[in-house]
Copies of this chain bind each other. A is one copy, B any other.
Amino acid sequence: MAGRLPEGAAIIGQSGGPTAVINQSLVGVIEGLKGFPSVKKIFGMRHGVDGLIKGLPLVDLGGISSGDLDKLAKTPSAYLGSSRNKPTEADGPKIFDACKTHDIRYFFYIGGNDSSDTCRIVSELCQKTGYEMRCFHVPKTVDNDLMMNDHTPGFGSAARFVAMAFMADDRDNASLPGIKINVVMGRNAGFLTAASSLARQRPSDGPHLIYLPEVPFDTDKFIEDVKGVVGKYGRCQIAVSEGIKDKEGTDIGAKLIAGGQTDAHGNAQLSGSGALGDMLSNLIKEKFKSPSGKPPRVRADTLGYLQRCWPDCSPVDATEARAVGNFAAKEAMSGYPDGSIAIQRLSNHPYKVEKRLVKLSDVAAKTRHMPPEFIAPNGHDVTDRFVEYCKPLVGELPVFFKPE
């Protein structure tokens, strides 16, 4: 595809929950745009379209040296600042005014499904008003829940953190045996919780139970599951998604968070609280009678925001995050008007992917869930197929030396 390219500035924004590699994508776009004469300037918007609407000063990204770009790429969380707000139709003219003022003709928005919807809205407003601006969504989310994608940049690094956390914590829980709950991020999709399964190197290793948002959570079954594992191994390590729901589909965690907050997308607060882990911990303390009559040692950790910002990235995730940004820039420079970049897997052995341009509307505001073939029939585990799928995404994991 060729065609005339509009001349003007490019702008890049970051939106939604940041990741450890979201700045790789930012740098990927910057590097991809350099050297194209149609692109007169490369700007960054502060805190996504919020910053544009509020008239926050733009960031000059074109002037960052290549050495600093490398440092920037390795810095976790959104360099430009992020936003959880969603623009309304009324915000449209303000975004256009800002874009026109700065002569912006290329608009890149790095984010998840809410962010791709923002991108779609902006692109549609452009088309309605006849303002020629190319709009590209660059995928990012630790939740791994974007449609059309085999997986999403940000997920691999978060999955790496989760797998390492469960590996190390299982050793801790084997040292002082007890029941250990670790609550994992993921509002609607269980991919990140499922990644805890990569911590297993042999059958007795944790996590021994994995509870996903895709499987209705039943407290009686939960207690029975835990009893079974404790009877077998004398300890139990449990992965619980922050997004587990009861059989009516109600978020169990959100109900527990006192003064919990809702964002502009109507999402209730799930992270940044230990309430769900503590509730499950108390439930076990109440309901669980060990054979000795002694209450079991029960502890709950909520892995929290470190999952999305821990700086020891998955190398493949870092590379792919940079590459999708770069690809978005290249597609814009090839003359495409808008779209979202998707990663498709071509083969697993050897691991090989390709990037494709897909329609914004195919990704926008939709959620991909764990497919049935990744969920174990017992409802508290993942399948080997999921492990096969996830393993290439996290990089090499340490190998521990364990007692027989």
> In the complex this chain forms, how many copies of it are found?
2
Interface residue from B172, B176, B259, B286 paired with A286 (Cβ < 8 Å)? B259
Interface residue from B18, B277, B286, B402 paired with A175 (Cβ < 8 Å)? B18
B272 to A301, Cβ gap below 8 A? yes
Q: Which residues from chain B contact A82 at a C-beta distance below 8 Å?
A: 175-176
Q: Which residues from chain B contact A222 at a C-beta distance below 8 Å?
A: none
Determine whether A348 belongs to the interface, using a CB cutoff of 8 Å to chain B: no
Number of interface residues of A (CB under 8 A): 68
Segment at the B interface, from A3-11, A292-300, A386-394: A292-300
Interface residue from B172, B282, B312 paired with A76 (Cβ < 8 Å)? B172
A311 to B403, Cβ gap below 8 A? no
User: For window 80-133 of chain A, which residues contact chain B by CB distance below 8 Å?
Assistant: 80-84
> Given A171-B77, A174-B81, A311-B167, are A271 and B258 also a contact pair (CB < 8 Å)?
no
B71 to A399, Cβ gap below 8 A? yes
B274 to A400, Cβ gap below 8 A? no
Q: Which residues from chain B contact A177 at a C-beta distance below 8 Å?
A: 81
B401 to A72, Cβ gap below 8 A? yes
Q: Which residues from chain B contact A304 at a C-beta distance below 8 Å?
A: 301-303
Determine whether A31 belongs to the interface, using a CB cutoff of 8 Å to chain B: no
Q: Which residues from chain B contact A400 at a C-beta distance below 8 Å?
A: 71, 74-76, 311
User: For window 258-275 of chain A, which residues contact chain B by CB distance below 8 Å?
Assistant: 258-259, 261, 271-275
CB distance from A313 to the nearest CB of B (A): 11
Contacts A169-B306, A172-B309 aside, 13 further interface pairs with beta carbons under 8 A come to: A59-B403, A71-B400, A75-B400, A77-B168, A84-B176, A164-B310, A169-B305, A169-B309, A261-B295, A272-B298, A273-B278, A273-B300, A301-B306
What are 20 A-B residue pairs whose CB atoms fall within 8 Å in the complex? A76-B400, A78-B176, A79-B402, A80-B403, A81-B174, A168-B310, A168-B311, A169-B305, A172-B308, A180-B272, A261-B295, A271-B299, A272-B281, A272-B299, A273-B277, A274-B274, A274-B275, A274-B277, A274-B302, A301-B306
